[in-house]
Amino acid sequence: MKIGGRRVLLCSCEGSMPLDPRRLAQALAAEEAPPLHRHLCGDDLGAFRQALAKDEPLLVCCAQEAPLFTRLAAETGRPKPDFVDIRDRAGWSDEAGRALPKMAALIAEALLPATPAPTLTLSSDGVILVYAGDEVGLEAAERLAGESRTVTCLLVPPGEKLPPPPLRNFALFRGRVTEAKGHLGAFELEVNSLTAAAASARGALVFDRPVESSSLSADVILDLSGGGPLFREGGRRDGYLRADPAAPAAVERAVGDSRKLVGRFDKPLYVTVEAPLCAHSRHDKVGCTKCLDACPTSSIRIAGDHVEVDAHSCSGHGACAAVCPTGAISYAVPPGHALFERLRVLLGAYRRAGGANPQLLIHDPRRGAALVQAVARLDRGLPAAVIPVAVNEVTALGLDFVLTALAHGAARLFILTGRRAPGEAEALADTVRQASEIMAGLGYAGERVALVDEQEPLGLAKALRTAAPQAVEPAAAYQVLGRRGETFALALGHLHAHAPAPVEVLPLTTAAPFGRVALDQGKCTLCQACVGACPTAALGGDQSKPMLSFREGSCVQCDLCRVICPEDAIALERRLVFGEAWRDRRVLKQEDDFPCIVCGKPVGPRSTVERLLERLADHPMFREPGKIDVLKMCENCRVLVQLGPGGHPKG
């Protein structure tokens, strides 16, 4: 079948899954019903060659045989086809007979244009540092050095009982790494008690030459020490390879991977930063630190009033973007709103094909793809209503994505976390708690978002077959195009409109980015410091009169206004409002100007001038009678009074 100028090839994988080409074509509004191939990678391979010859963009509904089809396309000089797996994710299931809507959804998603992320280039000359705990690491260093590579071996103390290598074709030291930083092509390690191996050692290594420097550099680190990881994020740093020395297969993989890390490599720019939106600080007053707290790689640093990300060391974890209340940090894999568009197309196609109450199984390729495949091959397969959605990192999913998915009609989101370092998924868990509190507060029953940390296919299969709540009436297929605040407004507006128990004000206990500014009118002097600090313009003023206004739908509770207020007049209240209270701007305080006592021109807000007069009344500069009156004058009259008659300063 052809859809939007692209030809889609269907295969029943030797009849192992039921397919109805006619119904699929109708569900996808295809130009024609496609033929159903039984063995596209074998007996029907000629049909694939014929499709190639037509020089049309191809989508092959098979992922397992992608290498074969890619090679055949390259041999004929044709572009590489795209691939989508509808077998392991839909067709191999005891509910395959009801899985046509899911197949249609998966195909519709695969037909979306690719949106590659921007990249940067890392360079490596293959200089390897082997951090060794025993003879396993020492042997690995010998092997790599024998391949004409520049190798340094650093043995963890004590190391004396190890036999000297027969051929010293690599540098050999002893010491313990105390700090590691850098990235592929530019690693720096600080080492405690760094000493070099003696050349005259006979039966066992001897380290007797202290080294003046306490640092080592390398392009690649092969960690076979058997200790904890050198970086906070474990093995998730480009160029850092770590394996248990007691696991020979893992050691072989790590040694083999280290050999490949020579040359130039394109690395995705995982996140982008829009500095003006950052709510980190203003005038040395710190407000928001959410991204700094969430980053597992310490790749975020302070740059004045905002933060910046070291793209070279960033591992793409993405929690910084998920927790950023203003959207100053956004995840760029894929860039822009591509992930929201996938969500809209996926759920829309599922509904149009007759599917009901869809559930999303969100996973990343590294931890989840093989597990999803194993459920199909070793168990009953995925339920017909469970649609797998692969994302680069589940930890990059924020509250805006979760609420949008529910507003688009997902009954429940299963987020497959897999095994992670302690605290690595805490920001994601906070997002789940925030979404759950909002949904429960609006009267939606049942678990709507669930974290799943199953490691085995049978455990995952069991978790996915629990009864799902009734989905929200799906929103019209709106597209997410604006900033984070607009995304929230669309999703929350729809969820509130269809809520079983709608409320106008929902108090919140979680740290969701919603709430209001509570102003102490008696303390506020309308100095406008909070207006200048607010990164989202939730707080505003008026140039024509002393006034402070507030729009609750723009407030992200970043805390900048509170910490920067010189009068301690601001408190924050976490809550979620709907309707006009969300959209409209209201006046928090308004008053008249203080008039100049000479000409009547406005001097400033009355409360500001009165507070200044009160505080400076006993100041030595103003104790002389009438001196303090200059503070009650506009700038012009103040100058004239100070100059006195004749235009000369008063003596």
Mean pLDDT of 306-312: 95
Q: Is 137 exposed, middle or buried (0-12, 13-18, 19+ CB in 10 A)?
A: buried
Contact 187, 96 (CB under 8 A): no
Contact 241, 235 (CB under 8 A): yes
Q: Is residue 196 included in any domain, yes or no?
A: yes
d(CA 63, CA 74): 17
Amino acid present at 55: D
Instruction: Tell me the per-residue pLDDT of 528-582, one tens digit each, with 9 for 90 and over.
Output: 999 999 999 999 998 878 899 999 999 999 999 999 999 999 999 999 999 999 9
d(CA 29, CA 607): 66
- Residue 622 pLDDT: 86
Q: Is residue 277 included in any domain, yes or no?
A: yes
Both 346 and 492 in a single domain?
yes
Mean pLDDT of 491-511: 96
Contact 96, 17 (CB under 8 A): yes
Both 344 and 462 in a single domain?
yes
Both 447 and 423 in a single domain?
yes
d(CA 65, CA 241): 30
Cα dist from 650 to 627, 640, 641, 643, whole Å = 12, 10, 8, 6
Instruction: Tell me the per-residue pLDDT of 29-54, one tens digit each, with 9 for 90 and over.
Output: 998 888 999 999 999 999 999 999 98
Cα dist from 537 to 531, 541, 556, whole Å = 7, 10, 10
Q: Flag whether pLDDT at 651 surpasses 50.
A: no
SS3 percent helix, strand, coil of the chain, rounded to 5, is: 30, 25, 45
Mean pLDDT of 137-145: 93
Both 609 and 584 in a single domain?
no
- Residue 107 pLDDT: 97
CATH number of the domain that residue 529 is part of: 3.30.70.3270
Cα dist from 393 to 25, 265, 298, 408, 496, whole Å = 32, 21, 18, 21, 29
| Total domains, the chain | 6
Taking CA 148 as the corner, what is the angle to CA 204 and CA 312, rounded to the nearest 5 degrees? 100
Instruction: Tell me the per-residue pLDDT of 152-163, one tens digit each, with 9 for 90 and over.
Output: 999 998 766 788
Both 324 and 367 in a single domain?
no
- Residue 34 pLDDT: 82
Question: Looking up tokens 């609006």, which residue turns up?
Answer: 442
Both 23 and 67 in a single domain?
yes
- Residue 649 pLDDT: 54
Both 342 and 485 in a single domain?
yes
Mean pLDDT of 476-480: 81
Q: Is residue 112 included in any domain, yes or no?
A: no
Q: Is residue 99 included in any domain, yes or no?
A: no
Q: Is residue 101 included in any domain, yes or no?
A: no
Both 475 and 352 in a single domain?
yes
Q: Flag whether pLDDT at 303 surpasses 60.
A: yes
Both 205 and 295 in a single domain?
no
Contact 19, 71 (CB under 8 A): no
Both 345 and 493 in a single domain?
yes
pLDDT tier for residue 2 given thresholds of 50, 70 and 90: confident
Both 160 and 244 in a single domain?
yes
Domain C-terminal end among 590, 617, 635: 590
Pairing of strands 449-452, 412-416: parallel
Alpha helices in 28-173 (DSSP H): 45-53, 66-75, 100-110, 135-145
Q: Is residue 586 included in any domain, yes or no?
A: yes
Q: Flag whether pLDDT at 650 surpasses 60.
A: no
- Residue 559 pLDDT: 96
Tell which wins on pLDDT, 108 or 134: 108
Helix (H, G, I), strand (E, B) or coil at 515: strand
Token pair listed for 389: 């959605």
Q: Is residue 92 included in any domain, yes or no?
A: no
Instruction: Tell me the per-residue pLDDT of 279-296, one tens digit each, with 9 for 90 and over.
Output: 999 989 999 999 999 998
Instruction: Give pTM, 2 decimals.
Output: 0.88
Amino acid present at 14: E
Both 138 and 199 in a single domain?
yes
Domain C-terminal end among 266, 282, 314: 266
- Residue 647 pLDDT: 52
Provide the mean pLDDT of the chain: 92
Highest mean pLDDT among 83-87, 141-145, 524-528: 83-87
Q: Is residue 88 included in any domain, yes or no?
A: no
Q: CA 470: distance to chain centroid?
A: 29
Q: What 8-state DSSP symbol labels residue 88?
A: I
Helix (H, G, I), strand (E, B) or coil at 321: helix
Instruction: Tell me the per-residue pLDDT of 505-528, one tens digit each, with 9 for 90 and over.
Output: 999 999 999 999 999 998 999 999
Question: Looking up tokens 């899954």, which residue turns up?
Answer: 17
pLDDT tier for residue 235 given thresholds of 50, 70 and 90: low
Token pair listed for 340: 């929201």
d(CA 387, CA 361): 6
**Which domain range does residue 571 map to?**
505-590
Alpha helices in 146-294 (DSSP H): 248-260, 290-294
pLDDT tier for residue 55 given thresholds of 50, 70 and 90: confident
Mean pLDDT of 236-261: 94
- Residue 585 pLDDT: 96
d(CA 176, CA 126): 22
